[in-house]
A and B are shown apart, each in its own frame.
Chain A
Amino acid sequence: MTFSQVSKRFSDVQALQQVSFSIPENTIFGLLGPNGAGKTTLIRIITKIFAADQGEIFFDGADIKTQQYANIGYMPEEKGLYKKMQVGEHLVYLGRLKGLSKADAKAKTIYWLEKLGAGDWWNKKLEDLSKGMQQKAQFIATVLHDPKLIILDEPFSGLDPVNAELIKNEIYQLHQQGTTIIFSTHRMEQVEEICKTIALINKGQLILNGAVSEIKQQFKENKYVISFDKLPVLENSDLFIVDRVEDNTITLKLNATTAPNTILQYFIATGAQITAYYELLPSLNDIFITLVNKANHA
């Protein structure tokens, strides 16, 4: 999926400004950005809710404008269903709106309800379900018609850890079956856990795009963590700067010319017993905050 020079303007706000990036096929892609960055606008263009002013989006070799609604499954951030309807008929209705036949929609609804441990929900009214249960139903509505592209906006908000795990496993399974998944959230630990590639948008502009592992390498600050059974006496050294000390663990920022092994040798020489030593990669959360702050101050 490729985005080239996508722009969208609402009367007084430039929601997206020449955004270009691509999403590898069959990946779990994280679309990140602070509130009001333009994520939802971008998602609404992908889901054909409205069109871009400029630029093109290609998915599966065709312009998004000519794509069938059936190819896309969308779970918006603000979740909602017809509260007065029963779960079964509601899901069948949404499936048929996506182009499934009545029998197909019915069979798939039964399959998914069973799969998510909700086999006896068919005749229950949605308003009688808890928020988490409604969200499960919403997830089924998103994947019911076997879309090639699934867009999930904050899919875990409101779910308890057990159900969040359940949905997460379903997402992995769909991914293995070859579905492209766009995942939008503010929760960086979820992104680190689930996504392989990300894009970061701020104020309508793309500020970061790439594989999570590469991004982490790119933003690493040459920091290492070393733990001891008993903290050695720390003397000033031109090899490193002490970043922080906590219990028996020290975080060091290595000087540019210092090799990691030199540090090990240095501390072995102090006679202290080393229990752990590893490179500290920045969390996506840190990268996110740094970049957004930098962009906002620029």
Chain B
Amino acid sequence: MRKTLLIIQREYITRVRKKSFIIFTLLGPLFFLLISVLPILISSANKSEQHITVKDDSGLISALPDTAGLYFNFKYNDMPLDQLLPLYSTLDNGYDALLYIPKMEPDAPYGIEIYSNEQMSLTTKIYLESIIEDQLEAINLKNEELDKNMLLKLRPKVSIDDKVTSGENQVEGDAAIASAFGFGMGFIIYIVLLIYGTMVMRGVMEEKSSRIIEVIISSVKPFQLMMGKIMGIGLVGLTQFFTWAFLITLLNIFVGIAFGAQLSELQQAGSTGDGNMQAVADTMANLNNLPLGYYLTMFIFYFLGGYFIYASLFAAIGSLAGDEDGDVQMFAFPVTMLILISIFIMTAVVQQPHTPLAFWASIIPFSSPIVMPALIPFGVPAWQIALSISLLFGGFIFTTFLAGRIYRTAILMYGKKIKIKEVIKWMLYK
């Protein structure tokens, strides 16, 4: 046991003090933030100004509001269309487009056209349609002597609150949040299994190819070395995870202080009854009502269980490595496939959480580490969790046992290509 602790310590310290680990751990949250913000930044940077001249023959549209990228001009409203058409792109500094509104009734707005040298983007077109609709709506309301508020009252906003009644206690549910949260947890575990599983595999391969393995296993049993490595790297994973959780909480608090005013405005807007705002405010309230402690406990449980199962498999695969990299790929492929299949199942079950597929995938140890955390926010009965966890534990014992048998034989095999038949034999015999 003392020796296993020594091995854990070495595996942990040599990895945690690496510069790449420190940088990735500290900058990780910022990196993720950047990734989520980047598409918005890029698309806004991509926007260019467009100047549109408007020819309105209907007399209904007297002005259109300029926005960040779009500027409207009615200067040439009196010029006939067939004269304006060949000229609009050269007038003044050159207009990008000509919006033509023909003679029409406000309740039958047909025949509106836009001319441009380059294809109009869909978003611009939809935006133009919506601002013209707004103006026509105002005119129509006035003509019919109707009030906009009256109209909103006639069609109230409906939103259904879901209450889940499975298990003993009733859970306040929100399908959207549940699936987002579940997906997030499942996805993190998926990433962890791949990153740290591969790390274990590389570590074993390094020991084998550098030949230090023979020195080490003349001091400790191969199984001790394998378990020490798996646990040490697992601790590295946990360190990274908790550092990230801590940094993200800090980031949240910072965002809360910096943008606190806007948030409370949002909540006030919710209480004054605007439908959309109400939904946002409800979502935020629901997020705070989630049993986060429970989720976190379950998450760590499946994080560790899944990690141990896959890490021991990856350790066995690493020990099979020959001098050529191709052999490892061949053996690693089925294990990687198991993880990939699990993530596919997980994406499916967050949309349909109460299917037989969801049930089986949440109790079979190879997929449960990814699927179960994703299901938990939807409410999973206690007995199913208990079954899943005991199978997870059993699966962990089983895979480490098998992996240990493969590992202790394969780790000393050099030169000769290992066949799958032999591997199966090592698993079955003493």
Residues of A within 8 A of B (CB): 11, 44, 47-49, 69, 72, 74-76, 78-85, 93-94, 96-98, 138, 141
Would you call B220 and A82 a contact (CB within 8 A)? Answer: no
Would you call A97 and B216 a contact (CB within 8 A)? Answer: yes
Would you call B6 and A49 a contact (CB within 8 A)? Answer: no
User: What are 24 residue pairs bridging A and B, where the CB atoms are less than 8 Å apart in the complex?
Assistant: A11-B422, A49-B214, A49-B412, A69-B218, A69-B219, A69-B220, A72-B218, A74-B214, A76-B214, A76-B218, A78-B414, A80-B212, A80-B214, A81-B210, A81-B212, A82-B14, A82-B210, A83-B210, A85-B14, A94-B215, A94-B219, A97-B7, A97-B220, A98-B219
* Given A11-B422, A85-B14, A93-B10: A78 touches B214 (CB 8 Å cut-off): yes
With a cutoff of 8 Å between Cβ atoms, the chain B residues found around residue A141 in the complex are 215
CA A49 – CA B213 in complex, angstroms?
A: 10
* Given A76-B211, A96-B6, A97-B6: A49 touches B14 (CB 8 Å cut-off): no
B91 close to chain A: CB less than 8 A: no
* Given A11-B422, A49-B412: A97 touches B212 (CB 8 Å cut-off): no
Would you call A97 and B14 a contact (CB within 8 A)? Answer: no
With a cutoff of 8 Å between Cβ atoms, the chain A residues found around residue B157 in the complex are none
CA A78 – CA B209 in complex, angstroms?
A: 10
With a cutoff of 8 Å between Cβ atoms, the chain B residues found around residue A98 in the complex are 219
| In the complex, the 9 A-B pairs of residues with the closest C-beta atoms, listed nearest first | A80-B211, A80-B210, A78-B211, A47-B218, A76-B214, A97-B219, A74-B218, A80-B212, A69-B219
Which positions 186-211 of chain B face chain A at CB distance < 8 Å? 206, 210-211
The minimal Cβ–Cβ distance linking B130 to chain A, given in whole angstroms, is: 61
Would you call A49 and B217 a contact (CB within 8 A)? Answer: yes
B354 close to chain A: CB less than 8 A: no
Which positions 1-18 of chain B face chain A at CB distance < 8 Å? 3, 6-7, 10, 14
CA A174 – CA B215 in complex, angstroms?
A: 20
With a cutoff of 8 Å between Cβ atoms, the chain B residues found around residue A48 in the complex are 218
With a cutoff of 8 Å between Cβ atoms, the chain A residues found around residue B211 in the complex are 76, 78-80
The minimal Cβ–Cβ distance linking B260 to chain A, given in whole angstroms, is: 47
- Given contacts A79-B211, A82-B210, A85-B14, 10 further A-B pairs with CB under 8 A are A11-B425, A48-B218, A69-B220, A80-B212, A82-B206, A82-B212, A93-B10, A94-B219, A97-B6, A97-B216
CA A84 – CA B212 in complex, angstroms?
A: 12
We find that the number of chain B residues with CB closer than 8 angstroms to chain A is 21
CA A4 – CA B422 in complex, angstroms?
A: 30
CA A96 – CA B425 in complex, angstroms?
A: 35
* Given A84-B14, A85-B14, A97-B3: A49 touches B212 (CB 8 Å cut-off): no
Total cross-chain contacts (CB, 8 A): 56
Which secondary structure dominates where chain B touches chain A?
Answer: helix
Would you call A93 and B6 a contact (CB within 8 A)? Answer: yes
With a cutoff of 8 Å between Cβ atoms, the chain A residues found around residue B212 in the complex are 80-82
The minimal Cβ–Cβ distance linking B366 to chain A, given in whole angstroms, is: 29
With a cutoff of 8 Å between Cβ atoms, the chain B residues found around residue A85 in the complex are 14
With a cutoff of 8 Å between Cβ atoms, the chain A residues found around residue B213 in the complex are 80
Would you call A74 and B412 a contact (CB within 8 A)? Answer: no
CA A11 – CA B6 in complex, angstroms?
A: 34
The minimal Cβ–Cβ distance linking B20 to chain A, given in whole angstroms, is: 12
CA A96 – CA B210 in complex, angstroms?
A: 21
CA A47 – CA B212 in complex, angstroms?
A: 15
The minimal Cβ–Cβ distance linking B12 to chain A, given in whole angstroms, is: 12
With a cutoff of 8 Å between Cβ atoms, the chain B residues found around residue A84 in the complex are 14
With a cutoff of 8 Å between Cβ atoms, the chain B residues found around residue A74 in the complex are 214-215, 218
**Closest A residue to B422 using CB positions:** A11
The minimal Cβ–Cβ distance linking B265 to chain A, given in whole angstroms, is: 53
**Closest A residue to B18 using CB positions:** A84
With a cutoff of 8 Å between Cβ atoms, the chain A residues found around residue B14 in the complex are 82, 84-85
Quick one: which of B7, B14, B414 has the most chain A CB within 10 A?
B14
With a cutoff of 8 Å between Cβ atoms, the chain B residues found around residue A78 in the complex are 211, 214, 414
**Closest A residue to B224 using CB positions:** A97
CA A84 – CA B202 in complex, angstroms?
A: 14
With a cutoff of 8 Å between Cβ atoms, the chain B residues found around residue A44 in the complex are 412
Which positions 211-233 of chain B face chain A at CB distance < 8 Å? 211-220
**Closest B residue to A95 using CB positions:** B219
CA A69 – CA B213 in complex, angstroms?
A: 15
CA A80 – CA B218 in complex, angstroms?
A: 13
CA A83 – CA B206 in complex, angstroms?
A: 10
**Closest A residue to B13 using CB positions:** A89
CA A262 – CA B425 in complex, angstroms?
A: 68
With a cutoff of 8 Å between Cβ atoms, the chain B residues found around residue A82 in the complex are 14, 206, 210, 212
With a cutoff of 8 Å between Cβ atoms, the chain A residues found around residue B422 in the complex are 11
With a cutoff of 8 Å between Cβ atoms, the chain B residues found around residue A83 in the complex are 210
**Closest B residue to A153 using CB positions:** B214
**Closest A residue to B225 using CB positions:** A97
CA A138 – CA B216 in complex, angstroms?
A: 12
Which of the residues B10, B215, B219, B220 comes within 8 Å of A76, measured between beta carbons?
A: B215
CA A84 – CA B20 in complex, angstroms?
A: 14
CA A75 – CA B210 in complex, angstroms?
A: 14
Would you call B218 and A49 a contact (CB within 8 A)? Answer: yes
The minimal Cβ–Cβ distance linking B121 to chain A, given in whole angstroms, is: 53
The minimal Cβ–Cβ distance linking B405 to chain A, given in whole angstroms, is: 13
CA A285 – CA B218 in complex, angstroms?
A: 31
CA A44 – CA B219 in complex, angstroms?
A: 12
With a cutoff of 8 Å between Cβ atoms, the chain A residues found around residue B220 in the complex are 69, 97
CA A84 – CA B422 in complex, angstroms?
A: 33
CA A47 – CA B213 in complex, angstroms?
A: 13
The minimal Cβ–Cβ distance linking B14 to chain A, given in whole angstroms, is: 6
The minimal Cβ–Cβ distance linking B61 to chain A, given in whole angstroms, is: 71
The minimal Cβ–Cβ distance linking B322 to chain A, given in whole angstroms, is: 15
With a cutoff of 8 Å between Cβ atoms, the chain B residues found around residue A93 in the complex are 6, 10
The minimal Cβ–Cβ distance linking B347 to chain A, given in whole angstroms, is: 38
CA A85 – CA B18 in complex, angstroms?
A: 11
CA A22 – CA B297 in complex, angstroms?
A: 59
With a cutoff of 8 Å between Cβ atoms, the chain A residues found around residue B214 in the complex are 49, 74, 76, 78, 80
0/1 per residue, B392-430, Cβ < 8 Å to A?
A: 000000000000000000001010000000100100000
With a cutoff of 8 Å between Cβ atoms, the chain A residues found around residue B10 in the complex are 93
With a cutoff of 8 Å between Cβ atoms, the chain B residues found around residue A47 in the complex are 218
